[in-house]
Structure 1
Amino acid sequence: MSEKIYFNTSNKFSFKRSLINISTRLHHTIAPKHAEKTARSLLLTPVRTQPKNSQPHEVIKGSVASKEGNLTTYSLGAGPVWVLTHGWSGTASQYFPLMEHIASRGYTALAYDHPGHGESEGVYGHIPAFVAGLEAILDSVDDVAGLVGHSMGTASAIECHHAKLADKPLLLIAPVLDYLDNLFSSVARSGYSMRLFNAVVKELEDHYRYPIQSVDPYNKLKLRQSPTIIVHDEADKFTKYSVSQRAAQEMENVTLVTTHGQGHGRVMKCDQVMDSFDKLIDKSNS
């Protein structure tokens, strides 16, 4: 259900949306604690989707302990490590084609399932959990060469302050640079009670000591000095191409590669992504 909320982009009037708004507001008024428990389950539980691509025979599966539970990892190749972080309701399997390309260029491709996703432990998915998971993955490796992120995985990567990412190149695919606007507008469009949603957010903030208003991928990307390439489809329905376009115009170290007809998910294995990776490593080695 949460996927339908966060990936709902329609602004048209909907009787179902109005019904959701009335019922969730009423539920929160009559039984606030039960409503908040239900909302946590609905809003923070990602869909555990099936693998998107066939697993390469050479992939080595592993496990890394994190504060959110054990995370399942997938490693391919040898050499310096490129970490690959997927988005909401995604899996590491979305990266298998790119991992093969990365390995062919003399690097280790290390992808993993976020907490509550794929084969990893955990129930809930949110920015604090994504960041904690990424920090655990980075702690588990030594020679980090760079990072590839998709969708919400890009936001958590930019939010992550781990020293091993400080000066590393980034390949951001369909990024969510306007995270807060994207999140709150998506929930508002679904018709879900914003008061109830804010109560769930407040609980997360208190538990993780992570103020949601501090999440600002766009302006934090501005502060990075390392090269960044964004690959974004012009007609992406779930993350705003216009924001990526503005970032490339305003930020000296950011380059935008525009795709057509690749959407939000297929873009992860398109030729432009492979080419962009090659350009990043060529730039890093020059």
Structure 2
Amino acid sequence: MTKKSANHTQSLKIPKIILLTSKLISFISPKLITLFAAKLFTTPIKHKIPKRELEMDRNSLQKLVSIPAIGKEVVVYEYGKSEKKVLLVHGWSGRGTQLFKIADELLKVGYSTLSFDAPAHGKSPGKDTIMVDFIATILEIEKQFGPFEAAIGHSLGGMSVLNAIKKGLKVNYAVVIGSGDIVEDIIDDFVAKLELKPTVSTLLRLHFEKKYGEKMNSYSAFLAAKETAIPVLVIHDNNDPEVPVKAGIHIHKYLKNGELLLTDGLGHRKILGNSKVIEKTVQFIQNK
């Protein structure tokens, strides 16, 4: 593997200052480290929009939309003009323009797309968020801008799409790319990356369950997949360093009407711009 391609399959590293701070707090108090880890877990990184996404950004009709269920606001992007609409949902620390290459191809075959900066992402206000907010945003956007022919989600966006379908989102097709699966695994992995003891993972899960009044694992993607009857295309890279390929394989196993596409060497983000992935995605939505 070349140095350039290796970058696409390399996991994001947590800054040393955060690792050191986490370890210090963990020695002081279990309650404090739980609150500190929860803050980190729910705070996305806001990246500057890259040049490659500027065209979609310039050519989109953008508006700030209220999501009453969570008391937050999001920036929505309407791209193209067609009654055949596809909803695009980015992942953690992503943006509404991140799936621009998929959006461009959909426009070419007669669709328009609608995407959004999730709470605390991109141009949307706020500093913290969680998957519950993503799902509530999807359901509210369907009310205001739907119906949608299909929904496409990347990473956390894929998990959110499946959970939104479980909660009533009506689409004919769904595509999930590099989607996470079991919530407990995601929390365990996060705690491991912080180089903290596994007991912190349990404390963090219990913290969220107390806050939201629900079992965190009830949001696992495979459980939503179990209840999903529509055709769903699951795309995952064998070398994804952020979300292991076993997540995609497991989700597919539980779908009633699923299709699985595994790729090699595309990692977690480059996969969104791969021509074969985009072609398969568009054809799937067109039922070709």
Same-fold call, TM > 0.5?
A: yes
Query: What is the SS of the residue equivalent to 2:27?
Result: helix
Query: What is the SS of the residue equivalent to 2:105?
Result: helix
Q: Which residue of 2 aligns with 1:147?
A: 151
Instruction: For residues 177-210 of structure 1, give each alpha carbon's deviation from its aligned partner in whole angstroms, at most 9, with x where no partner exists.
Output: 2332133233134223555554454343333323
Asked if structure 2 preserves the Cα contact closer than 8 Å seen for 1:9 and 1:186, the reply is no
Asked if structure 1 preserves the Cα contact closer than 8 Å seen for 2:95 and 2:121, the reply is yes
Q: Which residue of 2 aligns with 1:39?
A: 37
Q: Counterparts of 1:251 and 1:207 in 2: how far apart (Å)?
A: 30
Q: Which residue of 1 aligns with 2:84?
A: 80
Q: Which residue of 2 aligns with 1:70?
A: 73
Q: Which residue of 2 aligns with 1:99?
A: 103
Q: Which residue of 2 aligns with 1:163?
A: 168
- Alignment CA distance shift 1:196-1:177 (3 Å): closer
Query: What is the SS of the residue equivalent to 2:128?
Result: coil
Asked if structure 1 preserves the Cα contact closer than 8 Å seen for 2:117 and 2:124, the reply is yes
- Alignment CA distance shift 1:263-1:18 (3 Å): closer
- Alignment CA distance shift 1:220-1:250 (3 Å): closer
- Alignment CA distance shift 1:93-1:140 (3 Å): same
Q: Counterparts of 1:21 and 1:177 in 2: how far apart (Å)?
A: 26
Percent sequence identity over aligned pairs: 20
Query: What is the SS of the residue equivalent to 2:99?
Result: helix
1:270 aligns with 2:268: no
1:28 aligns with 2:29: yes
Runs of 5+ consecutive residues of structure 1 not aligned to the other structure: 1-6
Q: Normalized against structure 1, the TM-score is what? A: 0.83
Q: Which residue of 2 aligns with 1:55?
A: 55
Q: Normalized against structure 2, the TM-score is what? A: 0.82
Letter in 2 for 1:71: V
Give, in angstroms, the shift of residue 245 of structure 1.
3.0
Instruction: For residues 17-39 of structure 1, give each alpha carbon's deviation from its aligned partner in whole angstroms, at most 9, with x where no partner exists.
Output: 9966642322325xx4x555433
The number of aligned residues is 270
- Alignment CA distance shift 1:105-1:190 (3 Å): same
Runs of 5+ consecutive residues of structure 2 not aligned to the other structure: 1-10
Q: Counterparts of 1:51 and 1:147 in 2: how far apart (Å)?
A: 23
Q: Counterparts of 1:70 and 1:115 in 2: how far apart (Å)?
A: 7
Q: Counterparts of 1:251 and 1:162 in 2: how far apart (Å)?
A: 16
1:110 aligns with 2:93: no
1:207 aligns with 2:211: yes
Give, in angstroms, the shift of residue 83 of structure 1.
0.8
Query: What is the SS of the residue equivalent to 2:63?
Result: strand
Q: Which residue of 2 aligns with 1:4?
A: none
Give, in angstroms, the shift of residue 175 of structure 1.
1.0
1:242 aligns with 2:240: no
Letter in 2 for 1:211: K
Asked if structure 2 preserves the Cα contact closer than 8 Å seen for 1:174 and 1:239, the reply is yes
Asked if structure 2 preserves the Cα contact closer than 8 Å seen for 1:230 and 1:254, the reply is yes
Give, in angstroms, the shift of residue 94 of structure 1.
1.0
Asked if structure 2 preserves the Cα contact closer than 8 Å seen for 1:231 and 1:272, the reply is no
- Alignment CA distance shift 1:251-1:17 (3 Å): same
- Alignment CA distance shift 1:245-1:41 (3 Å): closer
Q: Which residue of 2 aligns with 1:219?
A: 223
